[in-house]
Amino acid sequence: MRETPRSQVTAGDAVAKPPQRRPGRALAHTTGASGSGSPHRSDSRPPHTPRGARRTGPGGRPGTTPPVPGRPAFPLPTRLALLSLPVALFAVVTWQVVADGPLTRLDERASRALAGAGPTPLTELLADLGNLQVALPVLLAAMAYAVWRGRRAQALYAGLAMALVPALVVPLKLLVDRVGPLTPATGYYPSGHTATALVAYCGAALLVHRRLLPVAVLLTVATGTGLVLRGYHWPLDVLASACLFAPVPVLLARRSRRTAGEGQDS
């Protein structure tokens, strides 16, 4: 009888035979699987390479989840525009007032139509928001709060900004020498009350919390509205003062961010 030929596969041949794919089970591509050809460790510990430890962004692609630190909120051209455009508008308005241009005549007609409008107690209250006796205590309280929170530099900058108001407004009043809407007296351009309200309320908002900044802007607009409705200032007086001191909150906010960053680094 012929013997049935035996298989020639030996134990050594079994070792040398390439591994076969098992049905119903994917090749080992999971972290820590052995024999998968991946660079991951076989003991289920995370890899120590930076690529393996990198988190994936949206869509599973590698990326950094948080924003890149140190990037400014506004690009440089935007910041320059925020600083230069109001100053340029102030220069145009001042030129029109000094030269008694068409913009000034339109301003005088608008003032005559608006002066005396609205309930007197309300408009007087709004105009009083720009008084130094009202606005300065608000800023001083915010400065004291900032000092208590350890932000002495920000409080100092806000105080210097308030000291800048008379340093700029008083010489301009003397140079322009504009008469008031309801009086022959001069020295009404630009509005010191509007400048006081803008710097005091916006500075206080930046010292306490930036979410209060819209409230500060609203108080400044209310002050200017009350001044015009009561006949204390021409509309261009208010507009020019707001344009002249509009860069102050921008600079205060910029300086506050820089000082806060330096404090974190130290």
pLDDT in tens, 212-230: 999 999 999 999 999 999 9
Contact 238, 228 (CB under 8 A): yes
Indicate the angle between helix axes 247-265 and 76-99, nearest 10 degrees: 150
The domain ranges of the chain are 96-106+118-265
Whole-angstrom Cα distance, residue 166 to residue 196? 9
Q: Which of 12-26, 44-58, 218-232 has maximum average pLDDT?
A: 218-232
pTM of the model: 0.68
Among 43-47, 98-102, 137-141, 191-195, the range scoring the smallest mean pLDDT is 43-47
| Arithmetic mean of pLDDT, 139-149 | 96
3-state secondary structure of 56: strand
User: Pick from 216, 210, 213, 225: which is nearest to 198 by CA?
Assistant: 216
What pLDDT was estimated at residue 45? Answer: 54
What pLDDT was estimated at residue 184? Answer: 86
The model's pLDDT over 27-52, given as tens digits with 9 standing for 90+, comes to 444 444 444 444 454 455 555 545 54
Task: Identify the H or E element spanning 227.
Answer: helix 213-229
What pLDDT was estimated at residue 164? Answer: 94
